[in-house]
Amino acid sequence: MNAPAPLPLRIEPLTRAAFAPFGEVIETAGATAFPINVGTTTRYHDLAQVELAGESPRTLVNIFEGKAWHAPIAIRMLERHPLGSQAFYPVDGGRMLIVVAPPGELDESQIRAFISAPDQGVNYARGTWHHPLLCLQHPGRFIVVDRGGEGHNCDEQVLKQPLSVLNLQ
Amino acid sequence: MNAPAPLPLRIEPLTRAAFAPFGEVIETAGATAFPINVGTTTRYHDLAQVELAGESPRTLVNIFEGKAWHAPIAIRMLERHPLGSQAFYPVDGGRMLIVVAPPGELDESQIRAFISAPDQGVNYARGTWHHPLLCLQHPGRFIVVDRGGEGHNCDEQVLKQPLSVLNLQ
């Protein structure tokens, strides 16, 4: 038996409110901000809830370099990190297709999709289902802040009903 | 009595080896790297030693927006964070003048200066003396990963002998 044909997945605007069930949008707009360094720097403060669970966890700072994806993009699986959050922020203006579902047992009817602006990142909360990096149109580099340490920290799940993003507008 | 006239401070190339006494250079060149996401992404792994000491610490992800600095730049003070590291990575290609001295009692004879490339960041190790953000030529934004939590986490010290960076080459 073949897999079912993909269903189209609608793109929503990436806002703090819309993304709240999945983690945080990392952006200066709307952030807590204050001057530091005798007024020569503005600090946009504490933009992501970094979560570190499990045995001997520590914070990792990494750079991810993603290939360019073009429409249509098939969404066939999601993954989650049960022991920690994972934050992405572009360092060369890359835009991401972000596909997520709430933590807990995967409910495919709750899958949602967003596209980030060049000055937006996201932090996936611990356990949030998400598609691996989908960098749009051009290869892109991202600062990634996630968890290191002992223990199993990645679950992958193939979708019963694959989805497809047909239009990246 | 007036402060002594500034002494010129020489710029050194920013390399992992030269910066090792102060923390890490965050860059893909020379990093541990491996493919993830079925080969669609390269992970440059664990580029900074994030240190979180003191009471109820947690990792903060912030954006710093720094004003543009132009030569000559007077170095009159340094600061240190006794409870945690602090990492900077540019998100719009900004270059930093990095002025540092080793942890411990400040030894002004050990002050060194570096300029970062647009694809380099730095992580100041816990206790490393460093000048606050000096973004060169243009205003710039940086992802900053540092420590939140209780306790005193910033010491500032005015230099007995001010320094000056005359030439940003």
CATH of the domain spanning A7-165: 2.60.120.480
Q: Does A36 touch chain B (CB under 8 A)?
A: yes
Q: CB–CB of A18/A114 below 8 Å?
A: yes
All residues of chain A having their beta carbon less than 8 Å from the beta carbon of residue B44 are 62-65
B150 residue type, one letter: E
- Through-space distance between the first and last CA atoms of chain B, rounded to whole angstroms: 34
Residues facing B145 on adjacent strands: B61, B87
Per the prediction, chain B carries an average pLDDT of 96
pTM of the model: 0.97
Tokens standing for residue B101 = 């001295």
Q: CB–CB of B73/B164 below 8 Å?
A: yes
Chain B residues 57-76 with a CB less than 8 Å from chain A: 58-67
Distance CA B83, CA B149 (A): 9
Amino acid B2: pLDDT: 67
Amino acid B167: pLDDT: 86
Mean pLDDT (whole number) for B24-49: 97
Q: Of B143, B153, B154, B156, which to mutate for an interface test with A (greatest number of A Cβ within 10 Å)?
A: B143
Q: How far off is chain B from A32, nearest CA to CA, in Å?
A: 10
Amino acid B101: pLDDT: 98
Given A31, A61, A67, which is nearest B145 (Cβ)? Answer: A61
Count residue pairs from A and B with Cβ separation < 8 A: 120
Pairing of strands A121-124, A86-90: antiparallel
Amino acid A43: pLDDT: 98
Instruction: Please answer yes or no on whether A64 and B41 come within 8 Å at the CB atom.
Output: yes
pLDDT at position B1 over 70? no
pLDDT at position B99 over 80? yes
Instruction: Please answer yes or no on whether A28 and B63 come within 8 Å at the CB atom.
Output: yes
Per-residue confidence band for B105, with pLDDT thresholds at 50, 70 and 90: very high
Amino acid A2: pLDDT: 67
pLDDT at position B24 over 60? yes
Q: How far off is chain B from A26, nearest CA to CA, in Å?
A: 8
Amino acid A76: pLDDT: 97
Amino acid B135: pLDDT: 98
Q: Nearest Cα to A125, choosing from A26, A57, A55?
A: A26
Per-residue confidence band for B169, with pLDDT thresholds at 50, 70 and 90: confident
Amino acid B147: pLDDT: 98
pLDDT at position B168 over 90? no
Instruction: Please answer yes or no on whether B59 and A50 come within 8 Å at the CB atom.
Output: yes
A109 residue type, one letter: S
Q: How is B13-36 classified by DSSP, letter by letter?
A: E--HHHHTTTEEEE-STT--EEEE
Q: Residue B4, SS3?
A: coil
Instruction: Please answer yes or no on whether B50 and A60 come within 8 Å at the CB atom.
Output: yes
Mean pLDDT (whole number) for B46-66: 97
Q: Which sequence spans correspond to the domains of chain B?
A: 7-165
Instruction: Please answer yes or no on whether B40 and A133 come within 8 Å at the CB atom.
Output: yes
Amino acid B4: pLDDT: 85
pLDDT along chain A (169 residues), means of 10: 84 97 98 96 98 96 98 97 98 98 98 98 98 98 97 97 91
Amino acid B27: pLDDT: 98
Q: How is B115-152 classified by DSSP, letter by letter?
A: E--TT-EEEEPTT-EEPPP-EESS-EEEEEEEEESSS-
Q: CB–CB of A169/A70 below 8 Å?
A: no
